[in-house]
Amino acid sequence: MTNIKNILFGCLSLLAIGLVVLTGVFVSQLLNDSFNKTPATITVTGYSKINYIPDEAVITAGVLIEGQDPKDIQIKSDNLMTNLVNFLKEQGIEEKNLKTTRYNLSPKYDWDNHNRIIGYLLDQTIEIKVKDFSKIGEIVAGLTQNGANEIKGLSFALSDEAEKNLKKEARDLAIADAYQNLDNLKKSLKIKNVKLIGFSENGNQPITYQRFDAALGSGYLESSVSPILAGENEFVSNVYLVFELR
């Protein structure tokens, strides 16, 4: 009886070993097939650069009010901002092109006297989009004359629609450049057929330029109606195309 058990155990052991070996061979074959079926690929890049002139200016201005009573400085700030908005509407700026970007009421401390609150500061900022660049100097001067004591900056950019069109144009040019590079590679490497299997894009956003800030002082801005020039900027697009060799 013992001999029979030993024989059965030996057979089962051999069978188990055989299964392990067969499994290893099968997995190895699958891996080899997988590696052998991995397609050869090449990646080509495309590049384009478009010079453009911004069609939108963004002025950031506001009021900074200091006082003892938070309610009083809120009333003063709101009145000043109302004057600014009314002035801007008189200049033809539509309400959709006006946006409050900051409203911060904070205590002012006497750090040398046990951090005692000695007053309050209210910082309120508005962002103004201007389409007519010839009016920028006049608008900035008018803002200071109507109560703005902070001119935080002026930048130039593209409107959403113009940026969308520019990005598409730059991408199309970059793709055309990539296909031209592909044709050159096919000739050099003697490649006949390829299939596009991947695409990625890295497009730089249009750059905005800051022209001045509050450091110039409101006195300077009140008398400044000189032309503000947006200049010419660049938009760059890079694309990457991956092709499978056939």
Q: What is the mean pLDDT of residues 190-217?
A: 67
Q: Which residues contact 28 (CB under 8 A, 6 or more apart)?
A: none
- The first and second tokens of residue 153, run together, are 């900056």
Q: Mark out the alpha helices in the chain (DSSP H runs).
A: 2-37, 70-90, 136-145, 160-189, 218-222
Phi, psi for 37 (deg, rounded to 5): -90, -5
β-strands 98-110, 41-52 pairing: unpaired
Are the C-beta atoms of residues 59 and 141 closer than 8 Å to each other? no
Beta bridge partners of 155: 58, 210
Residue 86: CB atoms within 10 Å:
11
Query: 88-97, 116-125, 229-238: which has the minimum mean pLDDT?
Result: 229-238
* pLDDT given for residue 165 in this prediction: 94
Q: How many residues does the chain have?
A: 246
**223: pLDDT strictly greater than 50:** no
User: Rounded to an integer, what distance in angstroms lies between the CA atom of residue 155 and that of residue 80?
Assistant: 23
**29: pLDDT strictly greater than 60:** no
Q: What is the mean pLDDT of residues 193-201?
A: 92
* pLDDT given for residue 205 in this prediction: 53
β-strands 98-110, 116-130 pairing: antiparallel
Provide the mean pLDDT of the chain: 81
Select the more confidently predicted residue: 65 or 16. Answer: 65
Per-residue pLDDT band for 61 (boundaries 50, 70, 90) equals very high
pTM summary value: 0.63
- The first and second tokens of residue 223, run together, are 């008398």
Q: What is the mean pLDDT of residues 110-132?
A: 90
**213: pLDDT strictly greater than 70:** no
User: Residues 205, 158, 172, CA angle at the centre, nearest 5°?
Assistant: 55
* pLDDT given for residue 222 in this prediction: 42
In one letter, which amino acid is 52? Y
Select the more confidently predicted residue: 214 or 85. Answer: 85
β-strands 116-130, 194-203 pairing: unpaired
**17: pLDDT strictly greater than 80:** no
